Amino acid sequence: MGVCRSLRAPVPGVLVPCLVTARRGAERQNETDTGRPPKRLPLTCGNAGRLATVRRACDDGRMMPVERVRSVLADALIDRVAGADADRRRVRIVDAAGPRWFEEGSPIRRVHGDAAMFVGGLRALLLQLLHPLAIAGVAAHSDYRGDPWGRLQRTSEFLAVTTFGAASDAERAVARVRAVHERVRGVAPDGRPFAASDPRLLTWVHVAEIDSFLTAYQRYGAEPLTPGEADEYVAQTVRVARALGAEDLPTSQAELAATIDAYRPELRGTAQARDAARYLLLSPPLPLPARPAYAALAAVAVSLLPRWARWPLRLPWLPIAEATVVRAVGHTATGTIRWVMNAPPRSDA
């Protein structure tokens, strides 16, 4: 949906604000249905505060140890990917007054609020790297190695605001991104000029992103979309992409596949693309204990790439392993993230 917005993040993080925003929306709906606010431990700005709160709840019998672990894991994930003030931003997004671009329960909200977005986000980044002008813009204008988490948090908030937020907030978020795009221009290593505001380049970033989100959701999502709902999802995403300046956008799965095929003559694996892919897959800015889990997600994301996209990035194609072991890992990983991010309301002692 935007060259800098999508590719500058080194790990897939578009989903955490969406997950917590979707969860906040569910809590608000529960309050409406029951007439009382949900009983949930308050999210704090840091893991230490949350851990202290959870420990008190556990000590006085209001929370079982497994739920304490679950709660702390959720906060650690949110703090890392969405930032220390994720809860404040989540409340601001969901509770803002005014109409939304997309209705509650619509396909775009289901896809963007699901744990499968971890896999889809990484697949999107890898696929986007194949356009030489897209990766040239990232390499020249995006310090994705120097400030990875800050960029990741801004990227994820954009998706959360445009999917779940008030229309006025979504319009302001789009305006900010367009202003940044106007300043991003230069010359690629092959001598061609590039500009982040180029409608054709914006369209490539959009279709690579949406194809990846939808592919991951249909494989690992909680409730895969019907063919009609999948077409609706593709059509819904046009609203954001068009607002950012993209043109000739697909509105169905068939049109999405045809659009990606039409871009294939422009795609290739450059040295910049392969270097970025190695960084994404092998050197993520994560502590050592978190790297095995990330490696599992990376393997799942690679397995969802089309075969033609593998070799240009020097990625393997292992059909038997991908259909068995990797697929099982994908279901386990996304299921675990979903379990962590959807902790049930606590019960008072």
Q: What is the pLDDT of residues 198-225, one digit of tens each?
A: 999 999 999 999 999 999 999 999 999 9
Give residue 241's pLDDT: 96
Instruction: Provide the CA 265 distance to its chain's centre, in angstroms.
Output: 27
Please compute the mean of the pLDDT values over residues 77-90 and round it to a whole number.
59
Please compute the mean of the pLDDT values over residues 18-37 and round it to a whole number.
47
Whether 157 has a pLDDT exceeding 70, the answer reads yes
d(CA 217, CA 19): 14
Give residue 10's pLDDT: 35
- Return phi, psi of residue 195, to 5°: -145, 135
Please compute the mean of the pLDDT values over residues 166-194 and round it to a whole number.
92
pLDDT interval class at 78 (50, 70, 90): low
DSSP per position, 61-77 = TSS-HHHHHHHHHHHHH
Give residue 283's pLDDT: 82
- Range from 10-24, 79-93, 201-215, 314-328 carrying the lowest mean pLDDT: 10-24
d(CA 136, CA 196): 10
Give residue 42's pLDDT: 30
| Residue 67 vs residue 93, higher pLDDT | 93
62-70 long-range Cβ contacts below 8 angstroms, 24+ apart: 62/346, 62/347, 62/348, 62/349, 63/346, 67/343, 67/344, 67/346, 70/339, 70/340, 70/343
| Residue 43 vs residue 301, higher pLDDT | 301
d(CA 201, CA 15): 23
| Residue 66 vs residue 299, higher pLDDT | 299
- Give the chain's mean pLDDT: 78
Assess contact for 191 and 42: CB atoms under 8 A.
Answer: no
Burial class (CB in 10 A: 0-12, 13-18, 19+), 153: buried
Assess contact for 197 and 108: CB atoms under 8 A.
Answer: no
pLDDT interval class at 291 (50, 70, 90): confident
pLDDT interval class at 290 (50, 70, 90): confident
Whether 322 has a pLDDT exceeding 60, the answer reads yes
Instruction: Provide the CA 305 distance to its chain's centre, in angstroms.
Output: 16
| Domain locations in the chain as residue ranges | 3-15+103-341
d(CA 122, CA 255): 23
Q: Which two tokens stand for residue 34?
A: 């029951």
| Identity of residue 293 | A
